[in-house]
Structure 1
Amino acid sequence: MKRTIALDCRMIGRSGIGRYVESILDQIISQDVEDFRFVLVGPYERLNSYVNRKNIVGVESYEIEPLSYRDTVEGARFFTRLSRKVDLIHFTHFNLPLFTPRNSVVTIHDLTPLILKDLFPVSKRFSLSLLMRLNKGRFKRFIAVSQSTKEDLVRLLGIPSEKIEVIYERVSCRLVSSKRILPEELQGKEFFLYVGNRKRHKNLDTAIKAFDTFFDDHPGWMFVIAGRKNAPRDYVDETLDAVRNRSCFIEYDGPSDEVLAGLYANTKAVVLLSLYEGFGLPVIEGFAFGKPAIVSNRSSLPEIVGEAGCTVNTDDLQSLRRALFRVAEEQIFYCGLCKAVQERFSFFDTYSEIARLKELYQAVLGHP
């Protein structure tokens, strides 16, 4: 008899976690998951297209705004009722109800607010810390998206190592298979690419300052910043106001998959200089298009990149500028990186995230 898993899809449609949810759904409806069937939890309008698809048996509509006070309080009642109808609930983010059902597992992508405390409001740090401490003993298992994140869970929250399973993320097949649209202003241009939100820990001000110096000697190149802008004006705007080579920086707010695919396919390299990353999905998205990465030497990024990019100390702008020059100018060096990208991506491309999730579900539930 098939077991029923309730999959938390409340964040679908949003960057980051939304990509993670979409990727899992794509794997569920395209593969044989054998012993399991899935009920999806989240906004009905976004999830309706999955109804009656392979391995999907229904949708539990949940329209409360994620990460809100109402989500935390009313979500506790909702998921308690749901837990009586399913065998297991898989929470896909730390936006948890006040008390989670005991028949549940959770994916933790990062603990950024607890590590870079000065960059996050007290309210966010407090809510994350409270929800994790209230519920850490209630979960059957934790899923960490990297070995680095697993180590943070052990170190910061005291979660036993044996309760944490590392399961890497996969690139969304819908992104790779999308039509590739390169905006007209980039056609014929050489450029580097950042993809992601513009939160402080993404360290975009450091990247912008390094590129401004790079553009003094490479005026025909560009740095593309592609991702959702959450405020009319932020620290990225303030940094861009002070650069000498403003025309070399271009921004896309919430680009479509087609535009993202076009950017990845035509960039020289993906740049991700975050002060902390739980995984670093844009890095392997770049790998999927054959592009190396320039990343900071922090948290999970060296683990994910391996030899398929340049790992730099972001406190050393000279080191960062040197990496940009080498990628742009040294053809033999760049070709070596691209070869390493093929080898590194072959690991992620053949990595079966859904198979590992099935193994975890089975380990938690045991045999029927």
Structure 2
Amino acid sequence: MQIALNARILQAPRTGIGHYLAELVSALRHEPDLELSLFHGWGWSSSLPAAAMPGYSRLTPLLRQIPGAYQARRWLEQRRFDRGRSAAIDLYHEPSLWPLAFKGPTVITLHDLTHLHYPSTQPAARLREIERRLGQGVQQARLILTDSQFVADEAQRYFGLGPERFVVAPLGAAARFHPRSNESLQQVLQSHGVQPQGYFLCVGTLEPRKNLALVLRAHAELPQALRQRFPLLVVGMAGWKGEQLADELHTALASGHVRLLGYLPDEQVAHLMAGARGLIFPSIYEGFGLPVLEAMASGTPVILTRRSAMPEVAGTAGNYIEPEDLHGLCEVMIRLINDQAHWQVCREAGLQQAKLFSWERCARVTARAYCRALEG
């Protein structure tokens, strides 16, 4: 069975969908009777490209300003997709939003419906393109993979499709996310001026949907001694509308108790995840919430909201708050600092919950979906 996978997103710095695709491809390599051809936007290859860092392209900001630029780029990609593609391809898998044209069976992955709930998180030109293309892509697909049952359910309602069109393939945590000894953490943590279990961590693109403003306010409300002992580290690159956080972020950074680390290499993120007192992830909407799983697999307690798909990931291991609950977030942070027994219970519960997920399982479910799609 020969599968064509659109891997163009791997040209960009790897955030959620990029990590999904890279890990899925690696895991699918171990599935029997399955061969992958990866389309990189300019041609075809059998290997994954190296991860890009921020600043990889100067074109993206221009696309937001040039009328028709998204359509022109898509036309060019379609031509490159058609050129050089093996005639033996049995099925095409599109892992991000909307598929290119393909005459054979198509499977897509629908990670979330953020553009419906929070359209302001998308550039206007991109939002128009999503609205124009996504419905067509859903109709084109024989099967639709989702990361969670939550997304499958809301997509069924929105598109008016039956459950037989959907396959839930939960994500996994990469092997780099695992508990680490304090000694093994020292080099990376010292480079950021922190000690093991001596800081809180936020991971994610800086945009309003991630609710970072609540974290900044809650950390500022901690007693000064705790703010000094447990600074807040924020990892992630700026996202669309991230400038809405500018004033609060500037105030927080000026206090010296919050540090904005930007986009970091994967191994550094894994070390910081394993060394944190807790991951704070109060996002308003997620199709899965991969950092939550990665933190639990690292032995780090998680603070999150009981919204969208995240309870499917954290189960009973999460410390849940409401998205607007400043006082509740402060209380949970203080408890994770002062109550060592509670911290240990959260750590062990998270490690057990994380064992329910793996990229191997995701790949097996995905490979079975390919077979179903080929059967028609």
Distance in structure 2 (CA, Å) of the matches to 1:147 and 1:231: 27
Alignment match, 2:34: 36
Alignment match, 1:86: 89
Residues 261-272 of structure 1 mapped to structure 2, 5 A cutoff: 261-272=270-281
Residues 116-127 of structure 1 mapped to structure 2, 5 A cutoff: 116-127=118-129
Distance in structure 2 (CA, Å) of the matches to 1:197 and 1:305: 20
- TM-score for both structures, normalised by structure 1: 0.85
Shift of 1:268: 0.9
The superposition leaves residues 151-178 of structure 1 with CA deviations (integer Å, 9 ceiling, x where unpaired) of 2211222232210110011122355599
Shift of 1:256: 1.0
Give yes or no for the alignment of 1:112 onto 2:120.
no
Give yes or no for the alignment of 1:23 onto 2:32.
no
Alignment match, 2:309: 300
Aligned residues between the structures: 350
Distance in structure 2 (CA, Å) of the matches to 1:174 and 1:272: 20
Distance in structure 2 (CA, Å) of the matches to 1:268 and 1:10: 36
Q: Tell me the amino acid that sits aligned with residue 211 of structure 2.
A: N
Alignment match, 2:56: none
What is the DSSP-based 3-state SS (H/G/I as helix, E as strand, rest coil) of the residue aligned with 2:231?
Answer: strand
Give yes or no for the alignment of 1:216 onto 2:224.
yes
Give yes or no for the alignment of 1:157 onto 2:159.
yes
The superposition leaves residues 258-298 of structure 1 with CA deviations (integer Å, 9 ceiling, x where unpaired) of 21121011101111111100111111111121112101121
Is the CA contact 2:207–2:240 (under 8 Å) kept in the aligned structure 1?
no
Alignment match, 1:188: 195
Distance in structure 2 (CA, Å) of the matches to 1:135 and 1:207: 37
The superposition leaves residues 284-333 of structure 1 with CA deviations (integer Å, 9 ceiling, x where unpaired) of 11112111210112101112111112111022211222211222211222
CA separation of 1:87/1:215 partners in 2, compared to 1, >3 Å: closer, same or farther? Answer: farther
The superposition leaves residues 102-132 of structure 1 with CA deviations (integer Å, 9 ceiling, x where unpaired) of 5211011111111123443443333222211
Alignment match, 2:256: 247
Q: Percent identity?
A: 23
Alignment match, 2:290: 281
Bigger shift: residues 152-161 or 81-90: 81-90
Shift of 1:5: 0.3
Bigger shift: residues 244-253 or 231-240: 231-240
Distance in structure 1 (CA, Å) of the matches to 2:338 and 2:320: 17
Give yes or no for the alignment of 1:207 onto 2:197.
no
What is the DSSP-based 3-state SS (H/G/I as helix, E as strand, rest coil) of the residue aligned with 1:363?
Answer: helix
Shift of 1:186: 3.0
Q: Tell me the amino acid that sits aligned with residue 104 of structure 1.
A: T
Distance in structure 1 (CA, Å) of the matches to 2:14 and 2:352: 30
The gaps in structure 1 that reach 5 residues or longer are: 52-63
Residues 317-356 of structure 1 mapped to structure 2, 5 A cutoff: 317-349=326-358, 352-356=361-365
CA separation of 1:303/1:230 partners in 2, compared to 1, >3 Å: closer, same or farther? Answer: closer
The gaps in structure 2 that reach 5 residues or longer are: 50-58, 64-68
Alignment match, 1:54: none
Is the CA contact 1:226–1:251 (under 8 Å) kept in the aligned structure 2?
yes
What is the DSSP-based 3-state SS (H/G/I as helix, E as strand, rest coil) of the residue aligned with 2:346?
Answer: helix
Bigger shift: residues 184-193 or 127-136: 184-193
CA separation of 1:233/1:148 partners in 2, compared to 1, >3 Å: closer, same or farther? Answer: closer
Q: Tell me the amino acid that sits aligned with residue 329 of structure 1.
A: N
Shift of 1:231: 8.0
The structure showing larger relative contact order (alpha-carbon pairs under 8 Å, at least 6 residues apart) is 2
Is the CA contact 1:119–1:200 (under 8 Å) kept in the aligned structure 2?
yes
What is the DSSP-based 3-state SS (H/G/I as helix, E as strand, rest coil) of the residue aligned with 1:271?
Answer: strand
Distance in structure 2 (CA, Å) of the matches to 1:143 and 1:233: 29
Distance in structure 1 (CA, Å) of the matches to 2:7 and 2:257: 38
What is the DSSP-based 3-state SS (H/G/I as helix, E as strand, rest coil) of the residue aligned with 1:322?
Answer: helix
Distance in structure 1 (CA, Å) of the matches to 2:43 and 2:343: 45
What is the DSSP-based 3-state SS (H/G/I as helix, E as strand, rest coil) of the residue aligned with 2:264?
Answer: coil
The superposition leaves residues 163-205 of structure 1 with CA deviations (integer Å, 9 ceiling, x where unpaired) of 0110011122355599852243433361111111112211111
- TM-score for both structures, normalised by structure 2: 0.84
What is the DSSP-based 3-state SS (H/G/I as helix, E as strand, rest coil) of the residue aligned with 1:187?
Answer: coil
What is the DSSP-based 3-state SS (H/G/I as helix, E as strand, rest coil) of the residue aligned with 1:255?
Answer: coil
Give yes or no for the alignment of 1:237 onto 2:237.
no
Distance in structure 1 (CA, Å) of the matches to 2:190 and 2:41: 32
Bigger shift: residues 216-225 or 80-89: 80-89
Distance in structure 2 (CA, Å) of the matches to 1:300 and 1:36: 30
What is the DSSP-based 3-state SS (H/G/I as helix, E as strand, rest coil) of the residue aligned with 1:234?
Answer: helix
Give yes or no for the alignment of 1:143 onto 2:152.
no
What is the DSSP-based 3-state SS (H/G/I as helix, E as strand, rest coil) of the residue aligned with 1:136?
Answer: helix
The superposition leaves residues 81-114 of structure 1 with CA deviations (integer Å, 9 ceiling, x where unpaired) of 64854110110101544x5545211011111111
What is the DSSP-based 3-state SS (H/G/I as helix, E as strand, rest coil) of the residue aligned with 1:173?
Answer: coil
Distance in structure 2 (CA, Å) of the matches to 1:270 and 1:47: 37
Distance in structure 2 (CA, Å) of the matches to 1:108 and 1:233: 24
Is the CA contact 2:121–2:240 (under 8 Å) kept in the aligned structure 1?
no
Distance in structure 2 (CA, Å) of the matches to 1:244 and 1:105: 44
